[in-house]
């Protein structure tokens, strides 16, 4: 079987080597398409692929239609909003993600960006500390729980809300205290870190009314997806409330407008959360193993289009 790794933002070399080892050990062949800038290159590369590994690369209906032999696509990472699941299902393609494999990397970046923000982007002026501050985690999944674990080390007072978890489940983690709803999280906390996926329900859900519940000096951290933010409303709010800060690992569409809030806004030029050797190795090799198990035993654990 031919396994194609198509990554516009490539894995570290050590991860590609590890993926190759798993693929070849299982009797398959590896093809690589890295740093492509033209979607036609992706269409050509998938034409004879039996399996596909991607990162945030968009696997659209068109990609699927060009991939006549494709049986499985694995998004090496957590969020699979880049996969057209309907098109995959229609073409009998199994779609998977690799949950948890890159979550520590994202969580470490959250804390790094937070320190950067409270120290005024290292501009020499006096900043503030995280010790004793209230951190709110919106969605207590793999990334959220890692953020809570690390934030505890900073001495932060950690709260969480997750629409799919009970308060008891959150409290039982021992690293975060549950609040009743997301409004309460924004009201209670000095910093809110977003870890919700981009779904029909969450897109645009971080809006004026919600963020406006934050106390003076509130900081919103987004390492999730730009689509969960209602950008027009956040821009309006930040113009009105000059105390609020927005820190993002997912550059907003309105980056140029947010840049007007000097000292209160920062976005990474390219999504950096999962961009570590360790995360690349973990997610890439998990993807390769999942493909090998699928071809060997028909294993569909981690399938997201069931």
Residue of 118, 142, 299, 77 whose CA lies nearest to 219: 118
Residue number of the CB atom closest to ligand 3PG = 77
Per CB under 6 A, contacts with ligand 3PG among 226-245 are: none
How distant is the alpha carbon of residue 259 from its chain centre? 22
**In this complex, which beta carbon is closest to ligand 3PG, that of residue 136 or of residue 273?**
273
The token duo for 88 is 């995959």
Our finding on whether 193 is near ligand 3PG (CB under 6 A) is: no
Our finding on whether 273 is near ligand 3PG (CB under 6 A) is: yes
Distance CA 202, CA 223 (A): 14
What is the DSSP track for 73-100? Answer: EEESSS--TTB-HHHHHHTT-EEEE-TT
Segment lying near ligand 3PG (by CB under 6 A), choices 12-20, 33-41, 124-132, 271-279: 271-279
**In this complex, which beta carbon is closest to ligand 3PG, that of residue 102 or of residue 188?**
102
Contact 225, 248 (CB under 8 A): no
Q: Binder to ligand 3PG among 19, 33, 56, 140 (CB under 6 A)? A: 56
Contact 24, 2 (CB under 8 A): no
* Alpha helix segments (H runs only) across 175-221: 182-188, 208-211
The token duo for 16 is 């590609």
Half-sphere exposure of 104 (CA within 13 A, CB side): 9
Our finding on whether 271 is near ligand 3PG (CB under 6 A) is: yes
Segment lying near ligand 3PG (by CB under 6 A), choices 61-69, 74-82, 227-235, 298-306: 74-82
**In this complex, which beta carbon is closest to ligand 3PG, that of residue 79 or of residue 218?**
79
State the minimum distance, in angstroms, from the CB of residue 6 to ligand 3PG. 12
Contacts with ligand 3PG by CB under 6 A lie at 9, 55-56, 77-79, 102, 271, 273-275
């Amino acid at each position: 079987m031919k396994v194609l790794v198509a990554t516009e933002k490539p894995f570290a070399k050590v991860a590609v080597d590890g993926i190759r080892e798993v693929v070849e050990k299982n009797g398959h062949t590896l093809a690589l398409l890295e740093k492509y800038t033209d979607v036609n290159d992706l269409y050509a590369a998938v034409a004879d692929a039996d399996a596909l590994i991607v990162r945030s690369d968009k696997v659209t209906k068109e990609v699927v239609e060009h991939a006549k032999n494709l049986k499985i696509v694995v998004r090496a990472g957590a969020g699979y909003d880049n996969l057209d699941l309907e098109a995959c299902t229609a073409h009998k393609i199994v779609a998977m993600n690799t949950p948890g494999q890159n979550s520590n990397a994202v969580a470490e970046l959250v804390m790094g960006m937070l320190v950067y923000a409270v120290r005024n982007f290292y501009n020499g002026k006096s900043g503030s500390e995280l010790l004793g501050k209230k951190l709110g985690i919106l969605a207590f999944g793999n990334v959220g729980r890692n953020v809570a674990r690390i934030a505890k080390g900073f001495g932060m007072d950690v709260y969480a809300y997750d629409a799919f978890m009970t308060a008891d489940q959150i409290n039982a983690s021992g690293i975060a205290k549950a609040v009743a709803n997301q409004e309460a999280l924004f009201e209670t906390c000095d910093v809110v870190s977003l870890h919700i996926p981009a779904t029909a329900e969450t897109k645009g859900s971080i809006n004026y009314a919600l963020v406006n519940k934050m106390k003076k000096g509130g900081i919103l951290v987004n390492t999730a997806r730009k689509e969960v933010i209602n950008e027009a409303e956040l821009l309006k709010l930040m113009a009105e409330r000059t105390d609020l800060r927005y820190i993002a690992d997912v550059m907003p569409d309105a980056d140029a407008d947010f840049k007007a809030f000097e000292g209160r806004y920062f976005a990474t030029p390219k999504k950096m959360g999962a961009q570590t050797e360790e995360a690349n190795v973990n997610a890439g090799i998990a993807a390769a193993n999942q493909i090998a198990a699928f071809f060997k035993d028909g294993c569909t654990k981690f399938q997201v289009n069931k």
